[in-house]
Structure 1
Amino acid sequence: MILKGWFVVLFFLFCNINSSFGFQKSDFEIIQERVFENYQSSPATDEMDKDISILFTLIQPNGSFKDLNYADKSMTKWEPDKHIKRLGKMTKAYTRASSDFYQDDKLYDGIIRGMNYWTSLKQEPISDNWWWLSISVPKEIGGMLITMKYGEKQVPKDLENKMIEWMNKTVSITKSPGKDGSNLTDIAQHMIMQAVLTENSDLLNKAVSVVSESVRITKGDGIQRDLSFHAHGPELYMHGYGREYLLGIRNVAVYIVGTSFSFKPEQIALISEFVRNGYLRSMRGKYIDYSVIGRGIARVNATRTNSGLVKQLKAIDIEDHQQEYQDAIDRIDGKKPVSYKIEPRNIHYWRSDYTIHQRPEFLVSLNSSSTRTVRTESGNGENLTGQFLTEGAMYIAVKGDEYFNIFPNWEWNKIPGSTTPEINPLKKRTNWVAERGNVDFVGGVSDGLNGVSVYQMNAYNTRANKAWFFFGDKVICLGAGITADRVETINTTVNQSRLRGDVSIGNENEMQVMNSNSTKIDKGPIWIYHDQIGYFFPNSQDIELSAQNQPGAWADINGNSSKKTINEEVFKLYINHGKNPKNEKYSYILMPGIESTSALKEVDLTGIDVERNDEKIQAVSDKGLNLLGVVFYEEGTFEWGENKLTVDKPCLVMLQEYSEGKWNVNLSDPTQLLKGTVKLNLKVDGKSKNFNFSLPDDDYAGSTISKPIDLN
């Protein structure tokens, strides 16, 4: 039915575009119109006209702009690119009927002078970053030259050809970095523009073909089998490069709809699946999980987005999905609450060591790294202190903005969820550091609603078996075997977020507002509440809590940013395991989406039991949900009450009794190295049965296998 829907959509678009008044347009004409319309879609006319007025004061008689350094070679914020961007804006004003500068002779003269200056520079502008001349400059040139086709006066042909020559100064699309993910779709876009400008059918066919070939499940950069997205190797980039890829695909799709080059229905269907079950899943309203944007975490406002791209993607999807897109758009735009139409779900993206647990009240995610995946990279002077971003990092969001622009003020040795040494200061990473994790036992098991995830950490001379039980509206977090050979204190960070409102501490009967900037708690059980999130520590642990200003600067994490000190009040909660801990452990429960301390008192935890928490097995049961989750670090038997669960290989198991004697059993291999089967024996109430679980392979390795078990 889905593919049938796609054929209807594409057939309608083809007929609508090509059959108006019986006039048959060529593919070049159709694509040219699409590029022009897309290029003119921003900025707003009023904003644009104000900028044009300013540009008139900056442009020189020779066509240069007096405020630009054309000899600049910077990796980021490369100044010569501004010359091209300004010319692009000028061409938009010249060809937009609503602009005060529409068909303005003075503006046309400035455009031509600016192009002549660019093409006659004796020392051609060059950057130390290949991206500027391979993607940014040629895309802008393509857009502006096509736009000028709609002007009263045209760009002289010889000058147009000189500008087109700059579109050829790009890296090859047959090898990295040009062939990878969003880089490929970006380069292909300006190849399509150049093909239209020169009416080159071979170039057009080549550009569309390479993009079409990228719309597939891959083991390299791009969309993975689990609908996560990789860039720069097996590095999670659901947003960032994932967003750029989607933007490129959307643009190309719009350019070629109604032509003989249109995407196949199954290709658009895959893009739709990635958007709806990958890209949008890592967002809470208009805010993005900080762990899925790579080194972009070090950029101002990087975790906040708008609905523009989602609206554009909605326009190329089928009718069946339109409401789902609109719901997301309404949440992003703030027209509906962030909880609107959010369905409960748990997804483990086994190709990326990434888990999300979603309820209408909250979004919690977990990001780890294994030998199969790459830790969050640094590059271009960005993300200088992000060494610990994949050490079990957690995003705990109710409103969505809990971490918005907090990153200059973070203590980066205390990433939420991580167990790490308190290295202070953290050594800033050199350019382009992207290392794989160094353990195999990293993964998750999920039934779609609940799940168990694990990270057997062994890094920075620190070891810890870390497990998360995502059960209903709670997350039970366990750590065992915490051992380190370090001079620094080892901490497990529970959270580090923006301080908003009071912090309350107490027990199930009474909560009191913390009246100091910091405190230490070593007696349990203890409850802590802040900003609609409850924290429960069931036993005595060395807990440290801070609620105060933490000054910082963007330059601390991004070498291209301001050194101006920013003051931000920060809530910071962590467990101190001391120096050189030996076989230490922790346990705590997260309860996001609790509206008040009064509501926290109503939370019932009596049905949740930490059944076992050691180096061999970690297990939690939830009697209210009839759930049991078990992490087996080695083959063995787990006993709870008179019941037993035995496996012959290390694995993750989650069981739920849905009727007396009837169980749904979910199992996965977090190492993704096991072959054949896992033998499981379940004994409950004296009844016992053996079962074999056949393990998936190839790019399904690590995914969940589900099987019903009837002990009756």
Structure 2
Amino acid sequence: MLWPTPDQLNATLAQAIGNLSTLDPKTCQWPDLNYSTRGPENWDPVLHMFRISTMTAALTVPGGRENDTVLLWAVHCALRVWIEQDWQNPNWWWNYIQDPLIATGIMLMLGVERMSSEEINAIITMSYRANWWIKDWGGGANLVWELQVQLYRGLATSNYSAVAQGFEVMWNTVQIQNLSTWGVQTDWSYHFHGPQILTGAYGDAWATNILHFHLATRGTQYALSQDRIDIFGRFLTEGDAWFTMGSVWTWGILGRVIDRGVHVWYTHLFPSDQLRALAMDVSSAYTAFALLDYADRLEHRHEARPLVGNRHFYTSDFQVHRRGNWTAALKMHSFRTIATECDNNENLNGEHIGDGVLNLYTRDAQYGSGEEYENIFALLDWKTINGITVEADTPLVRCNRGKLAMLNTTFVGGVSDGHYGTAIMDTAAHNLMAKRTWHFYDDFIIALANGIEDNTTALLQTTVASRLLPPADTAAVCIVIVYTIAGKFLFALLEKHREKLNCQEAYSKHMTEVTKVTPKLLAYIQYNVTSAILIFSTKKDNTKVADVIIGSMLYNYRVFVISTGSKYRHYEIVSKDMETSNMLHMLCYDCKDGPNTGAKLIFRAVYKLFGLANLAMCVDLIHEEIKAKFRWLNHKIGIIEGEKDLVVTKKDKALDNNKRPSTTDCNPVMNTNDKMIENENEARKLMPNNNIAHTHPIKINSNKETLHQRAAATKGKLLFKSAICR
């Protein structure tokens, strides 16, 4: 506020003496200041007023330099120059808020009895520039600053009606505002300049003033009401405290003031002793303890209770996740919110500040000083700030009249149960679109991206971390994941590589299992079906015996087939649908008078135990005669084995019923040219050595349709496959 606290007194006195020693007694100006500057933010002439204020505080504070006539002369000399020059800035804020605030503060500290009428009238005139009754400031910091001017003027001139009015209007800002009004929101975030979260900027200034004036008016007729005290306490503990790491703000809620250097980084405007005093005034014990803990953390006291949990600030598209030794802060934006601004030539590179920026604090996150990002902003590549996905080579959009052109989406938000949380954001920037999610847990964060689209050949990149290495003044590190639109997101590429390895491992084990069972199965099948003479031998097994023997041989293989689905989720062994099984049942079980009855009973046993797909795998590895028989079966049920003919075509479906083979006639065989083959030896000639319909090749990057896709597009048609990588 105006006068220094006891612990600030010595520093204030030293600064005042320093200002006095450097003041030019002839011009009453300071030679080190450039009075011609007109910068919207860094404006030297205002430092002239700040130095007068410091000298006035040293002159009037108890224990200061009350009787220092030289210091008093210097105050009047420098003040006269300011009144004569009345320096103005193109930025209205200096002229309407900051200058009147400093001037009325000087008048209040010095006292009108020690001032000339010229000085008093000039300051009163200047103070009316802060005309809050004309502007509609809502519940924002600008209103409180202008009310502060009125309070100083009223107190200095003993205009107590002005004082009463000032406090009444000021206290009205201590309430939960609707979304269209600047100030405290329903989720305890703070909006300013529209639906923009600025808790650590304008919100900091507002809360600091409310805290100071509440403590100053306790026990007076101007005191803050109890219900508003409780609202303010909850705002600090359920809002501000969540955005604070030790004694610093997370920089996602600072807005454009990140351009101003390290002094805006700290929450030093919240004196911990004042938070403890507020804790004595709130009616909720829970809020009181939370205020005490907050004060302790601001003082870096490690014995303080840490703030742990998850909170989604839904009006601001912001989520904070806190654990005992680390904190994450996620900043998003949507059509409902404003990500940032670039007024006064500040924050000119902030285009991506709201594009899913995920700031991670791991160095004493509960009690520290935020060294990961301290003064980092001049070092950052603003296309590689934490967590964003962008086109690497696309230039940043420049500021246009205080605004940054951003693409807003509607599907942005999050949920939280108070301990864990999830956030979702449809991201849009330039030509890039992506669907992104973040999932916050006890020891880790899962960040996912899907549906990444870009209609250019731009190089895309996602930044995992961009922060200072310890110690804080050494260097900045940036970890970036780069990917191209042609290859898709790198995470997707890694997943596909993992799928390929998954398939290869499963395929290797699959072949091992098949190799184990093949010799016995091959010998048995050859013994029973490959020789016409042996088929009619009385020593051959009948259907019932064959079922039992083959089932025994393939039991272990069956166990492997069943377990494969859970162990290797990218490797499938697919069974046939009911229609095919019914047809196979008719062809292989009910054709009692057809040829090769012995072969049919073997197929029956294998199919019954494993299904058509596994029957195909077994047949793939045995004698050519058996392959020919299987092909004959496939043609009979309408399954064509060529890669282009995995499904029955409409042409096949349209065959005249008179020409279609009977389901009780097992002799004819249909080839890919729709010619009838009466002999299975001819079918054997058409049979390729490597039947691609049986074993789908393990090719991850193939542009051809997968069997899954073909199956989905051919409802009611017959197809089969054995083992594939999906």
TM-score w.r.t. the length of structure 1 is 0.63
Q: Could you tell me how far 1:66 is from its partner in structure 2?
A: 3.6
- Contact persistence 2:258–2:347 (CA under 8 A): yes
Q: Could you tell me how far 1:437 is from its partner in structure 2?
A: 5.2
Q: Give matches, 1:267-278, under 5 Å.
A: 267-278=228-239
Q: Could you tell me how far 1:568 is from its partner in structure 2?
A: 5.1
| Separation (CA, whole Å) in 2 of partners of 1:366 and 1:299 | 22
Question: Tell me, what secondary structure is at the counterpart of 1:108?
Answer: helix
Question: Tell me, what secondary structure is at the counterpart of 2:239?
Answer: helix
Q: Give matches, 1:542-553, under 5 Å.
A: none
Alignment of 1:56 onto 2:29: no
- Contact persistence 1:189–1:251 (CA under 8 A): no
| Separation (CA, whole Å) in 1 of partners of 2:226 and 2:62 | 36
Q: Give matches, 1:323-362, under 5 Å.
A: 323-336=289-302, 340-362=304-326
Alignment of 1:68 onto 2:38: no
**Amino acid in structure 1 at the alignment position of 2:141:** S
**Amino acid in structure 2 at the alignment position of 1:165:** T
Alignment of 1:162 onto 2:122: yes
Question: Tell me, what secondary structure is at the counterpart of 2:384?
Answer: coil
Question: Tell me, what secondary structure is at the counterpart of 1:45?
Answer: helix
| Equivalent residue, structure 2, for 1:203 | 162
Q: Could you tell me how far 1:40 is from its partner in structure 2?
A: 5.9
Alignment of 1:44 onto 2:9: yes
**Amino acid in structure 2 at the alignment position of 1:324:** A
- Contact persistence 1:58–1:67 (CA under 8 A): no
Alignment of 1:577 onto 2:483: yes
Question: Tell me, what secondary structure is at the counterpart of 1:236?
Answer: coil
Alignment of 1:401 onto 2:401: no
The C-alpha deviation readout for 1:563-588, integer Å capped at 9, x for no partner, is: xxxx9523222222214665875599
Of the candidates 182, 190, 202, which is equivalent to residue 149 of structure 2?
190
Indicate the larger mover: 477-486 or 54-63: 54-63
The C-alpha deviation readout for 1:392-439, integer Å capped at 9, x for no partner, is: 110111113222222222221112111111136534424411556511
Q: Could you tell me how far 1:139 is from its partner in structure 2?
A: 1.7
Question: Tell me, what secondary structure is at the counterpart of 2:446?
Answer: strand
| Equivalent residue, structure 2, for 1:300 | 261
| Equivalent residue, structure 2, for 1:81 | 46
Question: Tell me, what secondary structure is at the counterpart of 2:89?
Answer: coil
**Amino acid in structure 2 at the alignment position of 1:303:** W
Question: Tell me, what secondary structure is at the counterpart of 1:214?
Answer: coil
What percentage of aligned pairs have identical amino acids? 25
Q: Give matches, 1:554-569, under 5 Å.
A: 569=475
Question: Tell me, what secondary structure is at the counterpart of 1:468?
Answer: strand
Q: Could you tell me how far 1:305 is from its partner in structure 2?
A: 3.5
The C-alpha deviation readout for 1:99-119, integer Å capped at 9, x for no partner, is: 3x3321111112222222222
Q: Could you tell me how far 1:199 is from its partner in structure 2?
A: 2.5
Q: Higher relative contact order by CA 8 Å / sep ≥ 6: 1 or 2?
A: 1
Distance 1:49 1:102, change over 3 A: farther
How big is the alpha-carbon RMSD for the aligned residues of Structure 1 and Structure 2? 2.9
* Gapped regions of structure 2 (runs ≥ 5): 364-369, 496-566, 571-726
- Contact persistence 1:462–1:483 (CA under 8 A): yes
Indicate the larger mover: 72-81 or 419-428: 419-428
| Separation (CA, whole Å) in 2 of partners of 1:44 and 1:387 | 43
**Amino acid in structure 2 at the alignment position of 1:112:** H
- Contact persistence 1:227–1:278 (CA under 8 A): yes
**Amino acid in structure 2 at the alignment position of 1:361:** N
Distance 1:182 1:588, change over 3 A: farther
- Contact persistence 1:257–1:263 (CA under 8 A): yes
- Contact persistence 2:30–2:48 (CA under 8 A): yes
- Equivalences, count: 485
| Equivalent residue, structure 1, for 2:506 | none
| Separation (CA, whole Å) in 2 of partners of 1:264 and 1:206 | 15
Q: Could you tell me how far 1:43 is from its partner in structure 2?
A: 4.3
- Contact persistence 1:478–1:587 (CA under 8 A): no
Q: Give matches, 1:187-266, under 5 Å.
A: 187-218=146-177, 219=179, 220-266=181-227
Q: Could you tell me how far 1:154 is from its partner in structure 2?
A: 1.4
The C-alpha deviation readout for 1:617-646, integer Å capped at 9, x for no partner, is: xxxxxxxxxxxxxxxxxxxxxxxxxxxxxx
| Equivalent residue, structure 2, for 1:444 | 414
| Equivalent residue, structure 1, for 2:91 | 129
* Gapped regions of structure 1 (runs ≥ 5): 1-34, 502-530, 532-566, 590-608, 613-712
- Contact persistence 1:60–1:66 (CA under 8 A): no
| Separation (CA, whole Å) in 1 of partners of 2:158 and 2:101 | 17
**Greater percentage in strand:** 1
**Amino acid in structure 2 at the alignment position of 1:362:** W
| Separation (CA, whole Å) in 1 of partners of 2:416 and 2:494 | 21
| Equivalent residue, structure 1, for 2:440 | 470
Distance 1:197 1:421, change over 3 A: same
**Amino acid in structure 1 at the alignment position of 2:192:** A
| Separation (CA, whole Å) in 2 of partners of 1:214 and 1:435 | 31
Indicate the larger mover: 319-328 or 131-140: 319-328
Distance 1:295 1:573, change over 3 A: same
| Equivalent residue, structure 2, for 1:688 | none
**Amino acid in structure 2 at the alignment position of 1:83:** H
**Amino acid in structure 1 at the alignment position of 2:323:** R
Distance 1:41 1:138, change over 3 A: farther
| Separation (CA, whole Å) in 2 of partners of 1:588 and 1:292 | 34
Indicate the larger mover: 404-413 or 231-240: 404-413
| Separation (CA, whole Å) in 2 of partners of 1:165 and 1:307 | 29
Alignment of 1:494 onto 2:454: no
| Separation (CA, whole Å) in 1 of partners of 2:277 and 2:251 | 27
The C-alpha deviation readout for 1:321-353, integer Å capped at 9, x for no partner, is: 45433333332323327xx41243111111001
| Separation (CA, whole Å) in 2 of partners of 1:43 and 1:142 | 22
Of the candidates 399, 418, 435, which is equivalent to residue 429 of structure 1?
399
Distance 1:288 1:499, change over 3 A: same
- Contact persistence 2:357–2:387 (CA under 8 A): yes
Q: Could you tell me how far 1:268 is from its partner in structure 2?
A: 1.3
Distance 1:351 1:41, change over 3 A: farther
Indicate the larger mover: 157-166 or 311-320: 311-320
Question: Tell me, what secondary structure is at the counterpart of 1:227?
Answer: coil
- Contact persistence 1:45–1:98 (CA under 8 A): no
| Separation (CA, whole Å) in 2 of partners of 1:279 and 1:250 | 13
**Greater percentage in helix:** 2
**Amino acid in structure 1 at the alignment position of 2:115:** V
| Separation (CA, whole Å) in 1 of partners of 2:316 and 2:492 | 26
Question: Tell me, what secondary structure is at the counterpart of 1:408?
Answer: coil
| Separation (CA, whole Å) in 2 of partners of 1:271 and 1:418 | 34
Question: Tell me, what secondary structure is at the counterpart of 1:369?
Answer: coil
| Separation (CA, whole Å) in 1 of partners of 2:226 and 2:203 | 21
Alignment of 1:391 onto 2:355: yes
Indicate the structure (1 or 2) with the bigger Cα radius of gyration.
2
Alignment of 1:118 onto 2:118: no
The C-alpha deviation readout for 1:489-509, integer Å capped at 9, x for no partner, is: 1112111122239xxxxxxxx
Distance 1:328 1:392, change over 3 A: same
**Amino acid in structure 1 at the alignment position of 2:98:** S
Question: Tell me, what secondary structure is at the counterpart of 1:361?
Answer: coil
